[in-house]
């Protein structure tokens, strides 16, 4: 084989590999990356919002005590002046220190960035739900966006989610508890991600296992419908479960 032939084959193989890599970026991956980004943002927000509250408590401690929601707290600092906050939340004289204009401006600037992070998370959450509506409408209908995305992420792809048994879906998200059970004989978990589903949250303790199995079974059916492009039945499956376990008429 001549050097020119070798270079020609090499060029074609590189071209083919690049094409295959581009095609490997599926909707599954985009959804999983979006979910991971939202989780990272939530973790970061918990840290920076706590820091914001600690900082603000030196100058407006009454606001810190009165507004428990982190996002609302940041919004108050951004949208209201220092005097407006005092007027709304302080009766008499504030316990906080009066910061210089420069110091208070720095605090408000930090609050602005924190608020932007909350708005970014909201935007990504809306985008995630929109993506799931197009890609997995049945699974979204029966699970809601958070559980649907977490199940898809645990499975690795819609194809796998559509082919695994309902019992596996039921335990996705409970891997640590399952390994603990297998290693040490600790109590076996009954559910993972699906635990946050309203049906399970509202179920009696004695009924939780039964509800989890029924829900996982319907999720498995919905995943198959989504993967094989079947009819939209997720809402009907959810209503049937609500009638059976939730008392919905």
The 10s digit of each residue's pLDDT in 65-122 is: 889 999 999 999 999 998 888 888 877 677 778 889 999 999 999 999 999 999 999 9
Q: Average of pLDDT values for 119-146?
A: 97
**CB-hemisphere CA count at 13 Å for 106?**
6
CB 157 within 8 A of CB 26: yes
Distances (CA, A) of 85 to 104, 105, 112: 13, 14, 16
pLDDT at 89: 81
| Same domain? 80 vs 150 | no
| Same domain? 177 vs 217 | yes
Q: What is the average pLDDT value for the chain, to the nearest integer?
A: 88
| Same domain? 232 vs 195 | yes
| Same domain? 141 vs 117 | no
Give the domain range for residue 212: 137-249
| Same domain? 248 vs 187 | yes
pLDDT at 187: 76
| Same domain? 103 vs 78 | yes
Band of residue 131 on the pLDDT scale cut at 50, 70, 90: very high
**CB-hemisphere CA count at 13 Å for 26?**
9
Q: Average of pLDDT values for 144-163?
A: 96
| Chain centre to alpha carbon of residue 229 | 25
Domain total of the chain: 2
| Same domain? 120 vs 146 | no
CB 196 within 8 A of CB 215: no
| Tens of pLDDT, residues 50-64 | 999 999 999 988 888
Residue that the structure tokens 């100058």 belong to: 59
Write down which residue in 119, 135, 151 finishes a domain.
135
| Tens of pLDDT, residues 166-225 | 999 999 988 776 677 667 777 777 889 999 999 999 988 889 999 999 999 999 999 999
CB 37 within 8 A of CB 124: yes
Q: Average of pLDDT values for 18-41?
A: 81
pLDDT at 249: 44
In this structure, the chain runs to a length of 249
190 or 240, which is more confident? 240
Band of residue 1 on the pLDDT scale cut at 50, 70, 90: low
| Same domain? 82 vs 145 | no
CB 180 within 8 A of CB 65: no
pLDDT at 240: 95
| Same domain? 180 vs 243 | yes
């Amino acid at each position: 084989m001549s050097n020119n032939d070798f270079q020609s084959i090499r060029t074609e193989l590189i071209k083919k590999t690049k094409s295959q890599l581009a095609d490997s970026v599926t909707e599954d991956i985009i959804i999983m990356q979006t979910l991971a980004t939202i989780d990272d943002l939530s973790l970061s927000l918990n840290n920076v919002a706590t820091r914001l509250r600690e900082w603000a408590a030196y100058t407006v401690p009454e606001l810190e005590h009165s507004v428990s929601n982190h996002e609302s707290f940041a919004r108050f600092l951004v949208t209201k002046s220092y005097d407006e906050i005092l007027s709304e939340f302080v009766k008499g004289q504030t316990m906080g220190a009066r910061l210089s204009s420069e110091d208070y401006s720095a605090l408000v600037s930090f609050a602005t960035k924190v608020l932007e992070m909350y708005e970014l998370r909201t935007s990504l959450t809306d985008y995630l739900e929109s993506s799931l509506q197009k890609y997995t409408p049945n699974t979204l209908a029966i699970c809601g966006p958070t559980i649907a995305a977490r199940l898809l992420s645990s499975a690795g792809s819609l194809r796998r989610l559509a082919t695994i048994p309902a019992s596996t879906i039921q335990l996705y998200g409970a891997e640590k508890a399952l390994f603990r059970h297998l290693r040490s004989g600790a109590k076996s978990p009954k559910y993972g991600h699906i635990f946050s589903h309203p049906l399970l949250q509202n179920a009696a303790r004695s009924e939780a296992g039964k509800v989890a199995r029924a829900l996982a079974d319907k999720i498995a059916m919905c995943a198959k419908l989504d993967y094989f492009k079947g009819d939209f039945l997720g809402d009907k499956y959810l209503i049937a479960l609500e009638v059976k376990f939730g008392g919905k008429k």
